[in-house]
Amino acid sequence: MNTQFLERQSSLERQAVALIDLHPVPADLERLAVEGLSRVPKQLPAWFLYDAEGSRLFDAICRQPEYRLTATETALLEQEAVAMAAAIGPGLPIEFGAGSARKVSPLLEALAPAAYVALDISSSHLTAACGTLQARHPATAVLGICCDYSQLQDLPAHPLLEGQRRIGFYPGSSLGNFEPPQARALLAQFARLLGPDGCLLIGIDQPRAVASLEAAYNDRAGYSAAFASNLLVRLNRDLGGSFDPEAFSYRARWQPDQCRIEMALVSQGQQVVRLASQDWTFAPAEALITEYSYKYTPEAFAALAGSAGWRPRQRWSDPAGTFSLHLLEPQP
């Protein structure tokens, strides 16, 4: 190891986590809530679920035995990180919706990048996750950017981000939260943001037995239900809403025609809720959709990615064929 390298490494070890906050302002929250409650059926953006408590509850969901996605994807990353890093090549990893940023560790070990960027909308959770990750990977400078990645046209200016090839990492099958036209638009936006020499490693959950899918989104311990219900608590706190969370029940159901799980809060009776200076009427059994989770076969996902300017390069799958990590490169 030469002196220059040691100096560089020791300066990175001293580096504090850098954080940039581009968080949406409350006026955006109110406008989007009004838009969503005006839809038929009523539906709010999935990212509304992730305040500090929502992020904590999502981590608890990931630990439930019914929610196999996290364990499956983590195992794939641990087993295949070296092969993935060889296929990916050097650059700056940028994780979309990093959450607790636990899955990226094997990739950081295999890629040994100078810097890593975590994007997430949940600011306090992102701050904590970046601190933990920085301690685990002292030779990689960790930068957190609190933002809505679906609105991010480019990265903000920062010395850590300059002149590096960009490697997108989008685990957790979070693409499934977007309806297919929006998912296509998001993949195309990522292609622009990552650039012509970039690439994208993306985790995609696949269709399987209905009972196993529905159980994954409605765990026995009740974390999925609490995660959805916390959305109403957030609307009350951040937008002065008058939701009674007890007056809604949680439902997760597979919709085979759309190849998706629909998660919703169902009104237990006729009720009127006040939010953003308006009254919102809920009929008995009326649903407020909190989130979708679309599932894609590898072929269906390759077609979607292809229509968004990407070319499938390599794929790693679990032995049961329930989940894949796809490495995509830009179409020439």
Contact positions vs ligand SAM (CB under 6 A)? 46-47, 50, 55, 58, 62, 70, 97-99, 103, 119-122, 148-150, 171-172, 174
Q: How far is the CB of 282 from ligand SAM (least distance, A)?
A: 25
CA distances from 134 to 14, 144, 149, 212 (A): 10, 11, 22, 36
Q: How far is the CB of 298 from ligand SAM (least distance, A)?
A: 19
Question: CA–CA separation, 330 vs 166, rounded Å?
Answer: 12
- Quote the tokens at residue 185: 């638009």
Q: How far is the CB of 227 from ligand SAM (least distance, A)?
A: 10
DSSP H stretches of helix in the chain: 3-14, 26-38, 52-62, 69-88, 105-111, 123-136, 180-194, 210-216, 223-239, 298-306
Polymer length of the chain: 332
- Quote the tokens at residue 104: 């990226």
Q: How far is the CB of 136 from ligand SAM (least distance, A)?
A: 16
Name which of 44 and 287 has its Cβ closer to ligand SAM: 44
Name which of 47 and 301 has its Cβ closer to ligand SAM: 47
Name which of 99 and 106 has its Cβ closer to ligand SAM: 99
Torsion of CA 188, 165, 202, 75, to 10 degrees: 180
Name which of 164 and 177 has its Cβ closer to ligand SAM: 177
Q: How far is the CB of 95 from ligand SAM (least distance, A)?
A: 7
**HSE-up of residue 227 (Cα within 13 Å, Cβ side):** 27
Name which of 55 and 140 has its Cβ closer to ligand SAM: 55
